[in-house]
Amino acid sequence: MNRILWILLIAFGLLAPYAIYPVFAMKLLCFALFAAAFNLLLGYAGLLSFGHAAFFGGAAYITGHVIKEWGFPPLLGILAGTLFALILGVIFGKLAIRRKGIYFAMITLALAQIIYFFANQMAFTGGENGLQGIPRGYLFGFIDLSKPLAMYYTVFAIFMIGFLIIYRVIHSPFGQVLTAIRENEPRAISLGYNVDRFKLIAFTISAALAGTAGATKSIVFQFAALTGVHWSMSGEVILMTLVGGMGTLFGPVVGAFAIVFMYSELSTMGSWIDVIIGTIFVLCVLIFRRGVVGELLRLVELRGHRSKQQNIES
């Protein structure tokens, strides 16, 4: 099953700009990376962060600033944004992992709100207007990123690197320990694991990759805005993960595609879109907790069981 999804993802990634508008395809990939990074924390470590907008939107501002004002090349700019998100992740993580569960969510939300107010007040962010006119520049000094295809494949490469990092983390002993902490924290502690350290590292990786996604998006769209650091962005990434299936590798990617696609389809509906998003939230939580990919995997597993049983009977 996972092999099919890998093939689908890579095929989509390679062919997308020929089938859909390249900027839209890049948007899909940026949000997919954001959601996948978020899922590393929620799905595997069991920590619900309500403040990931701070990393996503904050990194976008930093990347935009260093490229526009300091003349950084694009990759170095993205790296700067990622580094910012990583440092912020360490700070937020150190504070938030002092509490668990609902408290953790509330603390991350409140911390992210500080970043929102800073973004609103500081001069370099442009406040309500946002940071506009970020030049795309030249990759390695000679590939012109203002050409849509060049930009697209750069974004795709960044997405794949981020996604492979997440894959590696999940399928490493480190990832196994994270899952163990999610399932039974006291037992993980009694087995001698330094639980807080694992949580902090997971939080930091997740924050940094969310930053990469935000930084990349700021180059694609050539601006960074307040919506990126607003709490509703933190809510959106939760929804993407929930719809796709938390704790599955491909779920967040599917969820991000679905939600971004839905937003663009319903963009003319004004505030009704909030009502629709809220309704999806409610339905997901009440009856669809596994998400699309989660349900799919379960279906495959059930069928596997059934055919095995039939084999035994015959």
Chain contacts with other proteins (rule: CB under 8 A): 48, 95, 98-99, 101-103, 105-107, 109-111, 113-114, 117-118, 121, 231, 235, 238, 242, 270-282, 284-286, 289
Residue among 220 and 243 whose Cβ is closer to other proteins: 243
Residue among 80 and 260 whose Cβ is closer to other proteins: 260
Residue partners of 53: CB distance under 8 A and separation at least 6: 112, 115, 116, 228, 229, 230, 231, 232, 233, 234, 237
Residue 162: CB minimum distance to other proteins, A: 25
Q: If we measure between CA atoms, which residue out of 210, 276, 168 comes closest to residue 35?
A: 210
Q: How far is C-alpha 197 from the geometric centre of its chain's CA atoms?
A: 22
Residue 55: CB minimum distance to other proteins, A: 17
* Alpha helices, DSSP H, located in the chain: 2-19, 22-39, 45, 52-68, 74-96, 101-121, 148-170, 173-183, 185-190, 195-221, 231-244, 251-265, 272-287, 291-313
Residue 205: CB minimum distance to other proteins, A: 21
Residue 231: CB minimum distance to other proteins, A: 6
Residue 271: CB minimum distance to other proteins, A: 4
Residue among 18 and 117 whose Cβ is closer to other proteins: 117
Amino acid at 89: G
Number of other CB atoms surrounding residue 291 within 10 Å = 25
Residue among 165 and 202 whose Cβ is closer to other proteins: 202
Number of other CB atoms surrounding residue 146 within 10 Å = 11
Residue 233: CB minimum distance to other proteins, A: 13
Residue among 286 and 312 whose Cβ is closer to other proteins: 286
Beta-bridged to residue 197, according to DSSP, are: none
Residue among 29 and 260 whose Cβ is closer to other proteins: 260
Cα dihedral 41, 42, 47, 53, rounded to 10, equals 70
Residue pair 67/74 in contact (Cβ under 8 Å)? The answer is yes
Residue 85: CB minimum distance to other proteins, A: 19
Residue among 213 and 277 whose Cβ is closer to other proteins: 277
* Element (DSSP H or E) covering residue 142: none
